[in-house]
Structure 1
């Protein structure tokens, strides 16, 4: 494998590729680290992709958590000479897609029922799903040559069916698709009960995309001496007690009084927060995780609150299966959106993330990603 020359340039047959490669290498240097051979090979593969041509190429980048997938794709994105590019997070995109489907279904069904034709409402509602996917793709690909779909994963069979429609529409356009994922294509929708439902989607990915694994043995989120304290990483993990309360107080976060409790209404449901206001929301784990909250709820609340406190988090083995899944999704959503999270738990972070409870119930691969992301939080005490 070629190595970086002293100028920071990597051998390439194309000047534009060379510029992109050099820009990514420089970005790594400015961030205080040197790209590993496996990362350099990925950058080389990315730089060679034809962008904006008549026959676009697509790349599916996967690997274990913390190997630098998102950083590499972000740096590559920033180095591209074209401004015609779009980036989307999985959770945010599907929240918008579900909202569009609900709206279009309702509008189509109401209009069809007005005709008085038997069964017209149901048929129109079904057709609204197709329309919503097409509309979402139109919005996603409006005036872009390349689109990045970050943190690609499929756990829900319903989302899997929508993703198949989405992939069909994406591959029909002259747009380069890039994705990052912790999962090999064959491991998407891992639940054996539902896995067969997404096999057509897996086949499309393998037929249309170059699948590249980013190897390496180090989880850079956990081992890097350089930690940028911004976004999600501004948060903290502390064990419940006086030290935790004192730490939060230094951040202007004081344990809520009983009269500060409030109700948050969303999607026809209500949830109780210990406190909410001035951009900060404080939840107990019992309310946020053990009750039927969803990723859509978390994303909606981040529009109003960019600082979260998750209080009274028990040991991972004491959480129900559903609560463990919600915790994983919560960390994903807040980390992806750069929302500050402060956790007050019954155990220290290492005990919580290494205990077998977090990975039980079919969430082993997700637990690895969650452990990596929680390592971004500063541990107190």
Structure 2
């Protein structure tokens, strides 16, 4: 049977919307296999057949999310869900909380059952009742709470014949490296390798980096059409993927970034530097996202000492993590904080901002 995913990809090649890439060809072949396997069985089976999923990994910018978009649109499975992995896990933790805190009536209202102390089985059963195919973008594990439940959760999901299609920047063996109690996480790695074909998008071109290299990364008040150019680059990088909030668990708090697409995040200066956020919050953002679009950066004066200090801390976190940064500001870095407490120390941040706006920085960030 012809692959609808491949046909959709070929149409984009023919129209010039995409350029042929051997790394993407490897991924399309793997996704086409999964599409065909999902189509097997149909109504003749009382239960859907076991289908080996797909774990697609490789460096950022190679088009993994775009290819997942094509596959998800064409996959012949009516019960399917597409989600960023962190959003999925946030829901899982909420379901676990509802099971633990709910009485019998509340459990039945959400899960359709109420007996037992272990929340994993009813949570997995509920998720499996909603979708046979789960498509996840940007799987990475940094939170110990996620790490401790993933093995049991996905073992239960596979018992219900759920099929996974996953993208990640890391190979399965490199997930949660150096994490706390990692041996307890390793069964999840074994399950993924057993139940999914692991396919690497090796080499290939970083299309996101190429787009950024041909664009400005710092848009200041002196630039004509700066807002439009900033917006155009955001739209170009995120493509057709929908924006969604990201929830970062930081020392027991829920830090929300309202506009995210996979590893891309977009926020205003007020959201990140006018709120009481600190180094741990910014480090979590830098770890979670490979690119930050920061807009609405004002010229700061002596009465903006706290905002300037937070901006310094934010840039330090992004710099150390080699995060890509696109900025829409009222002025050039040198003119952002000319006077005030810490203005002299701010000169180091000016130097870092200029470095992060260079082509050399993009190349370093890609190699990191």
Q: Same fold (TM over 0.5)?
A: yes
Match of 2:283 in 1: 324
Q: How many residues align?
A: 280
- Tell whether the 8 Å contact from 1:52 to 1:175 is kept in structure 2 after alignment: no
Deviations 1:256-311 (A, max 9, x none): xxxxxxxxxxxxxxxxxxxxxxxxxxxxxxxx99997535x446999xxx984134
- Matches of 1:211 and 1:250, distance apart in 2: 38
Match of 2:166 in 1: 179
Match of 1:294 in 2: 254
SS state of the match for residue 200, structure 1? helix
Deviations 1:91-149 (A, max 9, x none): 2212222222222211149999xxxxxxxxxxx8952344334323433x2xx4x3211
SS state of the match for residue 323, structure 1? helix
Match of 1:69 in 2: 64
- Tell whether the 8 Å contact from 1:237 to 1:344 is kept in structure 2 after alignment: no
- Tell whether the 8 Å contact from 1:154 to 1:160 is kept in structure 2 after alignment: yes
> Whose RCO is larger (CA < 8 A, sep 6+)?
1
- Tell whether the 8 Å contact from 1:106 to 1:125 is kept in structure 2 after alignment: no
- Tell whether the 8 Å contact from 2:151 to 2:187 is kept in structure 1 after alignment: yes
TM-score normalised according to structure 1 size: 0.58
Deviations 1:229-254 (A, max 9, x none): 9xxxxxx9658x8659x967999xxx
Match of 1:16 in 2: 2
Match of 2:129 in 1: 138
- Matches of 2:124 and 2:319, distance apart in 1: 33
Shift of 1:40: 0.7
Match of 1:162 in 2: 149
SS state of the match for residue 97, structure 2? helix
Shift of 1:26: 1.2
2:269 equivalent to 1:310? yes
RMSD over aligned Cα atoms: 4.8
- Matches of 1:342 and 1:128, distance apart in 2: 42
- Cα distance change, pair 81–101 in 1 and its aligned pair in 2 (3 A): closer
- Tell whether the 8 Å contact from 1:313 to 1:345 is kept in structure 2 after alignment: no
Match of 2:318 in 1: 358
- Matches of 2:228 and 2:211, distance apart in 1: 28
**Pairing of 1:1-381 with structure 2 (within 5 A):** 15-17=1-3, 19-30=4-15, 32-49=17-34, 50-53=37-40, 54-108=49-103, 126-139=117-130, 141=131, 144=132, 146-216=133-203, 218-224=205-211, 238=218, 293-295=253-255, 297-298=256-257, 308-311=267-270, 320-329=279-288, 331=289, 342=295, 344=297, 357-358=317-318, 360=320, 367=321, 370-371=323-324, 374=325
- Tell whether the 8 Å contact from 1:137 to 1:169 is kept in structure 2 after alignment: no
Match of 2:336 in 1: none
Shift of 1:216: 1.9
SS state of the match for residue 16, structure 1? coil
